[in-house]
């Protein structure tokens, strides 16, 4: 089996310039993260607030931690002091809590709107109408300590890459409409976070700017 170092280097060499890599290190120990970090990679993704809170203090301070998992509002405070981006803002209530915690630490936390595009109903996320009505509400305008940088979604877990492609196209369309309706003057609103180990080539073809890769870098996870 190839090493983490080889995996991540190969990945980065093959990626188009406009696509950033989030190395998803959930369940993996500090040694594995350091092996990836020592190649010069800085962006890592975790999906559990408690796990991230426990790992972060023992690892280099210039790591940019991206949170990609479903967030319980009472756990936002664990990561608010240091998190670089939250990909999984999937309801108004969680954005409100991120805003509150960010304010406490005098920060502005970049977030992505997570859309529900998959067929399974187990995946979290906004639908289009919810996002539109939130963006038009007064309540949203008062959130001064968050910044919306784009959108994120997970496709259905299936071998059917045509279905996956349709779902990614849908997300890119949502992004384009939001960009022109609400963020045309906002240079920060530019991210489309889509693509994982099994579907990233399709995601890149459909306009991804950030892929989130775990197993192809760190190997299979043992839960
Ligand atoms: C675990 C996870 C990934 C990475 O999954 P792999 O299939 O291991 O690449 C990406 N995004 C999210 C939201 C995840 O939870």
pLDDT, averaged in runs of 10, over the chain (223 residues): 91 95 97 98 98 98 98 97 98 98 98 94 88 96 97 96 97 98 98 98 98 96 75
Ligand 1 centroid to Cα of residue 196, in Å, is 6
Give the whole-angstrom CA distance, residue 98 versus residue 22: 21
Provide the domain limits for residue 115: 4-218
What residues does 111 pair with on adjacent strands? 86, 148
Is residue 223 one of the residues assigned to a domain? no
Q: How far apart are the first and last CA of the chain?
A: 20
Is residue 37 one of the residues assigned to a domain? yes
Provide the pLDDT for residue 62. 98
Q: What is the largest CA-CA distance in the chain?
A: 54
Provide the pLDDT for residue 38. 98
Ligand 1 close to Cβ of residue 153 (< 6 A): no
| CATH number of the domain within which 192 lies | 3.20.20.10
Closest Cα to atom 10 of ligand 1: 212
Ligand 1 centroid to Cα of residue 138, in Å, is 34
Give the whole-angstrom CA distance, residue 132 versus residue 30: 40
Ligand 1 close to Cβ of residue 26 (< 6 A): yes
Provide the pLDDT for residue 121. 72
Residue 115: both structure tokens together: 């859309």
Atom of ligand 1 nearest to the CA of 198: 7
Provide the pLDDT for residue 2. 82
Provide the pLDDT for residue 223. 67
Is residue 142 one of the residues assigned to a domain? yes
Is residue 179 one of the residues assigned to a domain? yes
Is residue 191 one of the residues assigned to a domain? yes
The 3-state secondary structure of 82-97 reads CCCEEEEECCHHHHHH
pTM: 0.97
Atom of ligand 1 nearest to the CA of 47: 15
* Contact status, residue 39 vs residue 9, Cβ threshold 8 Å: yes
What residues does 115 pair with on adjacent strands? 126
Provide the pLDDT for residue 1. 59
Is residue 122 one of the residues assigned to a domain? yes
Ligand 1 close to Cβ of residue 172 (< 6 A): no
Detail the DSSP E strand segments found in 90-194: 109-114, 146-152, 191-193
Provide the pLDDT for residue 63. 98
**What is the domain count for the chain?**
1
Provide the pLDDT for residue 119. 87
């Amino acid at each position: 089996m190839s090493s983490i170092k080889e995996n991540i280097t190969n990945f980065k060499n093959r990626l188009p310039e406009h696509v950033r890599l989030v190395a998803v290190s959930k369940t993996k120990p500090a040694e594995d993260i350091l092996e990836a970090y020592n190649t010069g990679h800085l962006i890592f993704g975790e999906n559990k607030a408690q796990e991230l809170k426990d790992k972060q203090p023992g690892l280099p301070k210039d790591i940019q931690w991206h949170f990609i998992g479903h967030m319980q509002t009472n756990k936002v405070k664990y990561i608010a002091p240091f998190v670089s981006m939250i990909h999984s803002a999937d309801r108004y209530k969680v954005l409100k809590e991120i805003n509150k915690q960010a304010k406490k630490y005098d920060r502005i936390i970049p977030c992505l709107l997570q859309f529900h595009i998959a067929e399974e109903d187990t995946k979290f996320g906004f639908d289009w109408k919810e996002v539109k009505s939130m963006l038009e509400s007064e309540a949203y305008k008062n959130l001064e300590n968050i910044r919306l940088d784009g959108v994120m979604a997970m496709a259905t877990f299936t071998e059917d890459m045509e279905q996956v492609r349709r779902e990614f196209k849908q997300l890119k369309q949502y992004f384009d409409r939001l960009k022109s309706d609400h963020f045309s003057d906002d240079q920060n609103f530019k991210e489309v976070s889509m693509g994982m180990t099994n579907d990233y080539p399709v995601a890149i073809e459909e306009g991804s700017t950030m892929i989130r890769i775990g197993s192809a870098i760190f190997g299979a996870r043992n839960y």
